[in-house]
Chain A
């Protein structure tokens, strides 16, 4: 690697040392000022650190952020999914498990009797959304994908499951 030739002042080092100390102490004092202002309640907007204290503080995500899956529904509330297995096929993580069943309406014909996404395995690539020919799966801005236990079973609490025509996430009904 060709590095730049150092100038005389740089080679003296001591000047650069003071420059560096100036930089770091400037950061120290400006951050301390912000921290103090925040602690004393004078300024709650400016932050002294770029890091977030995760469980208590949440970083605001862009509205374009796409994370957790959602299954869309027909007008009557049944899932749009027809169990074509396109998302399952496209999924590079092999985390989608669909079992198809016969729908009573012959013009719908096929529907998923099981639709599980193992979020512990999912890589959030969005291929499933791209692959879907029915616009039946979308991704939402919801970033709360938390579980204290990971299990081998994809229908665990870290999975989206769809039972009896309802999209279920941790037992909470998702409405499209």
Chain B
């Protein structure tokens, strides 16, 4: 009993610390990556004893600054909800990771250990529920600030997230139909199969349109450029306009955590999760008949590494998108959501069901 509890707590801490650290690194990455894309150098001044580490200490300096700043609550705002909002946002963004598998089931110390915090049979629904509840953070922040700009940001945020969540749901349906499960671990395991013995049966291969639409809707879910209308730094500042100190820091952290969550979901649903093509439990089996046997621990480590690399890549990709595209206008955003992305996902669903029906 104690051992399994220790293992569970260990897994929780591993994921939590990993995600939070990655989020912190992403703030640095965002600045450095955009700088490199724009022929600049980026933040590089923060130093410890003259050692600069390419500006990595900027993250540390920023967080110290965040903690040291005055925590301001607008006098006419709702103090309780104002304080609650950032925690709601951050909490629901973080708990989504519980259902993400970062490795296969391994046998260790005579136990079967799933490399996933919790293997829910409705994992994908659980993540969607968490994401939907995250909207409350935005709405509460906008409302409790007693500021028109914040309120407008909150309203924009809720309508945008509702709109795109429908698309996400419709897109995912295609994947669920193909892999016939709502457990993410099962979906990832199913992606280890090969089509015609050569091509890995990854989500992106069987659902290319679905993958694209999911990415679009996913970026919209993170509320970042080009879909950053709830924030809109250059116009309304957004739902967190009245936030300062670490409460604002939590909102910013939530943004990055959501980015990681979307990257993890894309990896899990469409890019094989922890799968490496042609790698099975006992080693590589390439299509030409060439094999390379590996120990179970090595295979497991490779798979975890593969999952992390993919997630990291998609984080990089989302940042690339964020620093490439200009922001949509609000009506353009809604038209894209309801008239383009949503109908296409329905069509995609129809086509998928047709193909599945024909293949049976």
Give A residues with C-beta under 8 Å from B: 14, 17, 20-21, 23-25, 27-28, 31-32, 35, 48-51, 53
Contact = CB atoms under 8 A, between A and B. Distances in A.
B44 A53 contact: yes
B325 A17 contact: yes
Given A24-B324, A25-B320, A49 B40 contact: yes
Given A25-B320, A49-B41, 9 more contacts: A17-B324, A17-B325, A23-B324, A24-B320, A28-B37, A31-B37, A31-B39, A32-B36, A51-B40
Interface string B316-355: 0000110111000000000000000000000000000000
Interface of A is mostly: helix
Interface of B: 33, 35-41, 44, 212, 320-321, 323-325
B324 A21 contact: yes
A24 B41 contact: no
Contact of B324 (A20, A32, A53): A20
A32 B316 CA distance: 14
A31 B325 CA distance: 20
B180 to A, nearest CB: 30
Chain A to chain B: the 6 pairs with minimum beta-carbon distance, closest first: A24-B324, A49-B41, A31-B36, A50-B39, A20-B324, A28-B37
A24 B40 contact: no
A147 B316 CA distance: 42
Contacts of A23: 324
A24 B37 contact: yes
Contacts of B320: 21, 24-25, 28
30 contacts: A14-B212, A17-B324, A17-B325, A20-B324, A21-B320, A21-B321, A21-B324, A24-B37, A24-B320, A24-B323, A24-B324, A25-B37, A25-B320, A27-B37, A27-B38, A28-B33, A28-B36, A31-B36, A31-B37, A31-B39, A35-B36, A48-B39, A48-B41, A49-B41, A50-B39, A50-B40, A51-B39, A51-B41, A53-B41, A53-B44
Contacts of A35: 36
A152 B37 CA distance: 43
A27 B36 contact: yes
A85 to B, nearest CB: 46
B36 A48 contact: yes
Nearest to A28: B37
Given A25-B320, A28-B33, A53-B44, A20 B325 contact: yes
Contacts of A50: 39-40
B321 A49 contact: no
Nearest to A18: B324
A22 to B, nearest CB: 9
A49 B36 CA distance: 7
Nearest to A23: B324
